[in-house]
Amino acid sequence: PRPIKKAKLVLLGDVGTGKSSLVLRYLKGEFVEFQESTIGAAFFTQTVVINDETVRFEIWDTAGQERYHCLAPMYYRGAAAAVVVYDVTNPATFSRAKKWVQELEIQGSQNTIIALAGNKADLLEARQVFAEEAQTYAEDNGLLFMETSAKTAINVNDIFYEIELDHLVQ
């Protein structure tokens, strides 16, 4: 058998955008209304087999609170992929997401795949960031993009799968 590859995957984004909820949904198929704010970062692993290749993804779910910003490079350095999360009901989090993308482009590793996730897409009435705007931004910056909902599970497996696939194709 071929050796197992390791790949680091990091989630970045403003406080409360749903990073931990996306990870919980992806890894356990669960959602909680009162997810606690992450302190520092949380670590998970997920082994996936795609096209006969086994990859162990080491997932770093970082804390969105600004005081933890200085720790972020530790998590995104050498990452195979970064998921930058914003909340579609909160334009400030979309601005923050763009800042993360900028930081990754300047200080991150050259071949880190960046995916943009517009989370809380289930909150139809409260939406303030439109998909078209984010899609255009993503295309202009060469990012994967999906709107997701950790609550309803929409596109959650899909975005992680896209990232994994992209990683293996690289």
**Binding of ligand GTP at residue 125 (CB under 6 A)?**
no
> Site size for ligand GTP, by CB under 6 A?
24
81/154 Cα distance (integer angstroms): 20
Reference 42, options 81, 6, 87, 9; nearest CA is 9
**Binding of ligand GTP at residue 157 (CB under 6 A)?**
no
State the angle between helix axes of 19-28 and 156-169 in degrees (0 to 180), rounded to the nearest 10.
80
Decide which of Mg ion, ligand GTP, none touches 155; Cβ closer than 5 to 8 Å per partner kind: none
**Binding of ligand GTP at residue 17 (CB under 6 A)?**
yes
Tokens 């195979």 correspond to 80
Tokens 């989090």 correspond to 93
Using the rule CB under 6 A, give the single segment among 28-36, 49-57, 73-81, 157-165 that binds ligand GTP. Answer: 28-36
Using CB under 6 A as the criterion, which residues of the chain lie in contact with ligand GTP when the complex forms?
13, 15-21, 32-35, 37-38, 63-65, 119-120, 122-123, 149-151
